[in-house]
Structure 1
């Protein structure tokens, strides 16, 4: 099966939002979302895809994952749950490092142990932790940074 990483188009926004919603639910079942499904879909359609550097992974014409970069930040990296563990996340991080070769930073929730291990395997190091009071979910988070 061919997997293509490409820049997202406005017509991808609904599919991207659906992957994000399924991935969030599967990976973070104990984390309350700050917005309804419809608000998430509007956010991807009106803000994320048109205003941020958004990449998608497409296989068989179906969006399987997404990567959103904002300056040197990995703002979003979500995969279709059935595609976790297949190397797709590795490809997205490799792409992000090629596009931002000097530095990358990101936030993830402290409860998301698999994500933290994933990023650490890719050379990201923890630089900060918060109690979650600054994020919409009010969930303790951790800041990770990669420098070559």
Structure 2
């Protein structure tokens, strides 16, 4: 299994945003505002093309992982503290629900083995295990130095 480059880029963007956010929940508890960053700054910092960053920010915002605001002091910020955002959340924001095979989705399944497949019933358990593993990795972990 390999994630798309767009999903990889989304993880890079979210990690960069988390580095700028810092300890968001502590800032908010103190009555402050979360740090913000522009899409142009994210593009420059990550080395990704600006149109790619804008496209991914749109997907991440639609999934409730980022928020944007306009005007003075505007920009992008994480919608939640980074400790509450998992790798699974980011993957699903770009790829959709985690499913290793197409046969799980009846609308997309065109498998010639479907009528005699003995494995199909096991894929939900496998998908849940993969999602569970990705859900265990918080965005805060992806920001830490390796």
TM-score for the superposition, normalised by structure 2: 0.28
**Structure with greater strand share of residues:** 1
Larger radius of gyration between Structure 1 and Structure 2: 2
Higher relative contact order (CA 8 A, sep 6+): 2
The two structures have a TM-score, normalised by structure 1, of 0.28
Query: Relative to total residues, which structure has the larger helix share, 1 or 2?
Result: 2
